[in-house]
Structure 1
Amino acid sequence: MKKSHGPAFRAARIKLTRCSACRGRAVVQGVFHDLPCDRCNASGWVSAEAGEALPLDVLVTQLSLRLQAAEQQIEQLKRSVPMNGPTAQYTQNNRRGAGGTNYTGD
């Protein structure tokens, strides 16, 4: 068995799933208005293995990790999709304007 002192070097990723009580909306329907969901700490996410709400400090870390991964994926998709059509004309310099500037025809 390996001895270890202090916290882990990296935050462990916990598999999350949508809350079954609020269906991922973070609120449940009350009589007159929406109420925060008690089962998932009003986040819409619970642990996939246990189906229980995570403590708030762990939940914030896990949601931040998911957000960073989603933003990274969006950036990769933006770089991989070539622009064509009118969008390319406005974003790329065609050097047709005065002094070699971009001319869009407007």
Structure 2
Amino acid sequence: MKKSHGPAFRATQLDLALCPACRGRAVIKGVFHELACVQCNASGWVDAETGEALPLEVLVTQLSMCLQAADRQIEQLKRPAQMTGPAAIYQQNNRRGAGGSNWTGD
């Protein structure tokens, strides 16, 4: 067991699951109006391992980490795929042709 003093240097990302009571909607249908879900602190998310509601400080950190990961994934999917191999060389301009145009060697 590794000894450590003080808080961790980096926050670890926990596995989150949808709240089973409200099914991720953060509200429960009452008789006349909707009530905030008490099982998940009206967030719609619980700890996947224990099923318990996360404290608000931890919940904000975890949701921020999930949002940043989703943003990174969206940005990665927006970028065009990089061509590799002969196709990449064939498509770029090498300025070796007549008048500085592309020479493919065909």
Q: Does TM, normalized by the shorter one, top 0.5?
A: yes
| Structure 1 unmatched ranges of 5 or more | 82-106
Instruction: Tell me the equivalent position of 1:93.
Output: none
TM-score, length-normalised on structure 2?
0.72
Query: Which residue type is aligned with residue 57 of structure 1?
Result: E
- Paired residue for 1:23? 23
Query: Percent identity among equivalent residues?
Result: 73
Q: What's the TM-score once normalised by structure 1's chain length?
A: 0.72
Match of 2:63 in 1: 63
SS in 2 for 1:73: helix
Structure 1: how far apart are the matches of 2:80 and 2:38?
41
- Deviation string 1:7-58 (CA, Å, 9 cap, x unpaired) is 1111011111000000000011011111110000000000111011011111
Distance in 2 (CA, whole Å) between partners of 1:80 and 1:49 is: 37
Larger Rg computed on CA atoms: 2
Q: How many residues end up aligned between the 2 structures?
A: 82
- Alpha-carbon RMSD across the aligned residues, in angstroms, is 1.6
Gap runs ≥5 in structure 2: 82-106
SS of residue paired to 1:80: coil
Partner AA of 1:48 in structure 2: A
